[in-house]
Amino acid sequence: MVQPEMKYFSTRGGKEELSFEDAVLTGLAPNGGLYIPTYIPELPVNWETNWANLSFPELSHAILSLFIPTSVIPSEDLASIINAAYGSFRSPLTTPIKQVGDKEYVLELWHGPTWAFKDVALQLLGELFQYFLERKNKGRTEGKEELTVVGATSGDTGSAAIYGLRSKASITIFILYPDGRVSPIQEAQMATVADENVYCVAVQDCDFDYCQGIVKTLFSDASFNAAHRLGAINSINWARILAQIVYYFSAYFQLPEDIRKEGKLQFVVPTGNFGDILAGWFAKKLGLPMQQLVVATNENDILERFFKTGRYERDDVVDQQNKIAETAVVNGSSDGQQAVSAVKATHSPAMDILLSSNFERLLYYLALETGDSEGTDEEKRAKAQETLNEWMVTLKRDGRVNLGEQVRKAAANDFWAERVSDDQTLEQIRKYYNLDRYGPYVVDPHTAVGLTAQERSANKAPLDTTWVTLSTAHPAKFLDAVELALSPSHYPQFDFRRDVLPDELKKLEGLEKRVYRVRGEQGVRELIEKVKAKSKEKVNTEKGSGSI
């Protein structure tokens, strides 16, 4: 059966359908929604046989082609984009698996240029941005289109985005992060990049959700967006989800054939903004054989609470109910409201969030699944968008929304969730360092959260289940947590610099940093406007010089 050409629409309503190119360049829909595909495609016949021996770039091409029509990107061009994106990865497998137990594996996603899983998506996104802009500007001498990329990071997104977009023509990138709340190595990776199109913006006196809120506000400001042609690199951008689907298939094909035939595979995903695990959900819906996906959260457990209760509510709202007199007001949260207690700072900071920005995509599909079964597909879609929009309005107004038992049960068909404390995180780092048969193996704190959730979930699953835990960052990026777990007093043989820190990261020490410190949304706006005005002035000066 021939499937219709793939388009993309907003989760929050409207009949407008965008091409893949426009969805990627737009990032966030004007109504605040996130773009999703008009349908989930079918895998080709004999995919399991035909894809089994493909390289990662070849596998990526096969999967991305299901979502990107050749009318948008010709097949040969797509192959070139993918090869350019993954040519700098250190592992020939791009995302290799490592066995850490009899039926336990870790999917190492940190073999890209910044040693974090986000390289997989952001190296591709950078190439896509460049491809689309070069095509739009071909033959133009004046009025060339430019893209102003604005993103927020709790650490790894920023450096991965910068490395994906540095020196790209017609692109300026601004990365926002909470001042003092990313690791020294993460800040060094961002701030030591000297390319003129890169701006590291440390927002003072805030948390990640506040930075993310600034980004969403700027994208929702129609006049500001139009004036500066904003582009999104956070996981709200559909291209990031699409890129991440690939490594679930890659992990599957790296497993022994007898394990694949058993069909009892479970993925465990350290989860903050829900993009990484949502890619796994899409892989499952495409037809990749797997059981439930395990959502591994730290003490910022909004997702774990939803999957157990059906209520999606921010920590600060819960705390306000329980101990409003004990908490201090923090200026801002991800939806513009005042947060009472903000996020809890943990050893796994990439998961320190109040709201999961990508969760909205899953909520749309849950609204569709649990909604009225009568009517045309178009009518069902409109009803799901209406329901989703009502949920998001309630969430923004009240900081919570009760989605009900029917929705929770529908979600439970595909997901299970576990909450992991800081103490358990450190204990798991020690456990894997002390492995006999498969160790020592040093993991970062986010991977440790995943491994703890896997261990706990294994007690509830069949004994012959095979587990793949996603390892999202190299341990070198989290010195404090790793050294706290493997302290010299208990592990005198362990030396972080010698045993963990790669030479590439050692070279960052002592390099000059370039950071722009601002306060609040207004400070970010003023910086972007100042930089863009200066850029236009430079272009006009060059034009004038050239005409003399």
CATH number of the domain at 257, please.
3.40.50.1100
Nearest-angstrom CA–CA distance, 400 and 407? 15
CB 478 within 8 A of CB 450: no
Whether this prediction's pTM lies above 0.85 is answered by yes
Structural domain span for residue 426: 240-323+343-471
285 counts as catalytic:
no
Nearest-angstrom CA–CA distance, 454 and 207? 29
Residue 484 lies in a domain: no
How would you write the pLDDT of the chain (548 residues) with one tens digit per residue? 678 899 999 999 988 999 999 999 999 898 999 999 999 999 999 999 999 999 999 999 999 999 999 999 999 999 999 999 999 999 999 999 999 999 999 999 999 999 999 999 999 999 999 999 999 999 998 889 999 999 998 778 899 999 999 999 999 999 999 998 888 888 999 999 999 999 999 999 998 889 989 998 998 899 999 999 999 888 889 999 999 999 999 999 999 999 998 889 999 999 999 999 999 999 999 999 999 999 999 999 999 999 999 999 987 776 655 543 333 222 222 222 223 345 788 999 889 888 898 999 999 999 999 998 899 999 999 999 999 999 999 999 999 999 999 999 999 999 999 999 999 999 999 999 999 899 899 999 999 999 999 999 999 999 999 999 999 999 999 999 999 999 999 999 999 999 999 999 999 988 999 999 999 999 999 999 999 998 776 645 444 333 22
Residue 252 lies in a domain: yes
Residue 227 lies in a domain: no
Residue 331 lies in a domain: no
Residues paired with 315 in a beta bridge: none
The alpha carbon of 520 is separated from its chain's Cα centroid by a whole number of angstroms, namely 23
CB 472 within 8 A of CB 350: yes
Residue 122 lies in a domain: no
| DSSP assignment of 26-58 | H-B-TTS-BEEESSPPPPPTTHHHHSTT--HHH
Nearest-angstrom CA–CA distance, 81 and 60? 11
Residue 29 lies in a domain: no
List the structure tokens of 56.
């990662």
Active-site pick, 15, 98, 103, 118: 118
Nearest-angstrom CA–CA distance, 453 and 297? 8
Residue 175 lies in a domain: no
Nearest-angstrom CA–CA distance, 93 and 258? 21
- Number of folded domains that form the chain: 1
Q: Of 29, 199, 145, 155, whose CA–CA distance to 481 is shortest?
A: 155
Nearest-angstrom CA–CA distance, 219 and 435? 47
Residue 400 lies in a domain: yes
